[in-house]
Amino acid sequence: MTLTGVMILGVLVIIFLLVTRLQAQAPKLPEEITLPDGAQVEAVTVTATMFLVVTQEGRILVFDRLTGALTGEVAVTR
């Protein structure tokens, strides 16, 4: 009986944690960003202050998270 009670309590705690964690708000991003001419997006990564766009041409574009302004660019060799 004790083991059954502990297992039921554990399942309820896990369900509670999943529900509260999955309701977290998505990070706020600008409505629109402008990519350089010919850039095709391969991946996007969001951090606390910026987001990074990896292009198929091998560049990492750094955008400000609040304004959407391009703040930097890094060339990646393949």
Tell me, what's the pLDDT at 46? 86
- Arithmetic mean of pLDDT over the chain: 87
When pLDDT is cut at 50, 70 and 90, the band that residue 61 belongs to is: very high
Compute the average pLDDT of residues 29-52: 84
Q: Please, are residues 59 and 21 in contact by the beta-carbon 8 Å criterion?
A: no
Round to whole Å and give the CA distance between 19 and 39.
38
Please state, in angstroms and rounded to a whole number, the distance separating the CA atoms of residues 50 and 62: 7
35: CB partners within 8 A, 6+ apart: 41, 53, 55, 61
* Number of domains observed in the structure of the chain: 1
- C-alpha span between 59 and 70 (Å, rounded): 13
Domain that holds residue 59: 2-75
Q: What's the CATH code of the domain at 24?
A: 2.40.10
pTM equals: 0.61
**Mean pLDDT score, 19-25:** 79
**DSSP three-state, residue 55:** strand
